[in-house]
Amino acid sequence: ETGVTQTPRHLVMGMTNKKSLKCEQHLGHNAMYWYKQSAKKPLELMFVYNFKEQTENNSVPSRFSPECPNSSHLFLHLHTLQPEDSALYLCASSQRGGEYEQYFGPGTRLTVT
Amino acid sequence: QKEVEQNSGPLSVPEGAIASLNCTYSDRGSQSFFWYRQYSGKSPELIMSIYSNGDKEDGRFTAQLNKASQYVSLLIRDSQPSDSATYLCASGESSGGSNYKLTFGKGTLLTVNP
């Protein structure tokens, strides 16, 4: 256990559904991240939050909507997804802005049907 | 486009041997470097971080950094079957102000044969 938890661990949703992924870190960090991991591709950074402020949006489609109510919690709201959005979604946290080590949660395996 | 390049493997070594994993990065401004281990179906687990030129040792793992050559490596001594996994290399660079982000390679699959 790294101190970063994610729920749900598995999610199957239709293209018209709305769902949310949740991440919580118990490490006292103040930066949190969403990554997407697809087969045969490098980890792709999606969003970065520092002290609850979004500091990076890596050209992510608007069907993905992040929310960071405080430094310990991060959400990813999903709506009208496409089958190509099926992937492992990983949350990570670190001290400050990321020049320090990032610790990953277990991930949510998302399948869009 | 900032890139981190790794040989995808698979790299196969016998148990007890030294496994050598290599990585190059394109951004000369990169300041921090990380190695993660990822077992199949699991999330990445941090193994080593390195910030300055030279070697850094932690147990059976040694990370090596050469900023002039833009090259990072990870040596695993006395390799065990439990080391079989995909190893991800990442470089950290500033994305403006005090914000940093990591760029990951695709990973090298290591297989340690009993």
Of A55, A102, A105, the CB nearest to B102: A102
Nearest in space to B100 (alpha carbons), one of B26, B29, B10, B14? B29
pLDDT at position A97? 56
What backbone torsions phi and psi does residue B90 show, to the nearest 5 degrees?
Answer: -140, 145
Nearest in space to B75 (alpha carbons), one of B61, B85, B93? B61
Q: Is A48 on the interface with B (CB under 8 A)?
A: yes
Q: pLDDT for B24-74, tens place per residue?
A: 999 888 889 999 999 999 999 999 999 999 999 999 999 999 999 999 999
- CA distance to A56, A91, B89, per residue, from B106 (Å): 21, 18, 8
In the structure encoding, which two tokens stand for residue B49, read together?
Answer: 């971080």
> Which of A23, A27, A96, A99 to mutate to test binding with chain B, by most B CBs within 10 Å of its CB?
A99
- Cβ-based burial of B65 (10 A; exposed 0-12, middle 13-18, buried ≥19): buried
